[in-house]
Amino acid sequence: MRENGLLKPRNRKYAHRRRIDDRKVERPNQMWATDIKYGYIAGSNRAFYIINYIDVFTRELVGRYADYSINSKKAVRTLDRAIKDRGIDPRGLILRSDNGSQYISEEFEEYCKIKGIYHEFTHARCPEENGHIEAYHGILEEELLSRSEFDSLTLGA
């Protein structure tokens, strides 16, 4: 594709951002991974989105939020709630994400900087670099989303 000039030009705007490297995760709350998954609500004929944060060491879901849209403000609120619920000092926490608009926003980056969170990004079109959350979302899709029909986002409705 490169030889035939079929590749999109690279977006240099985010070239300065920290990128993924291999490291051994040896304890809980050392590294979290996040991503956004979508589902469908038949009752209102529209999509919904779920943002999840998991602990890479324990594979435990530490934060989640579902809504009809997920913006950077909701991503920050969900991360902040996960940190408070776990009762941890986030300084030094490594957070791995893709380059979704919620994660590359100034608001999200500023929150990570203030909290002392090291935010690293996977390479574009390389979901295997964030395999823990991708595997979780695969199970979520297979076991729940593809087998269920939802009427609304409201519990009990």
The CATH number covering residue 38 comes to: 3.30.420.10
pLDDT in tens, 41-95: 998 899 999 999 999 999 999 999 999 999 999 999 999 999 999 999 999 999 9
- Does 6 map to a domain? no
- Does 17 map to a domain? no
**Position 148: which residue type?**
S
| Residue with token string 């695969």 | 138
Read off the pTM: 0.82
Residue 133 CA to residue 146 CA, distance in Å, equals 18
Q: How many domains does the chain have?
A: 1
| Residue with token string 């490291």 | 23
- Does 116 map to a domain? yes
String of DSSP letters for 118-146: EEEEPPTT-GGGGHHHHHHHHHHIIIIIT
- Does 9 map to a domain? no
- Does 22 map to a domain? no
pLDDT in tens, 102-148: 999 999 999 999 999 999 999 888 888 888 999 999 999 999 999 98
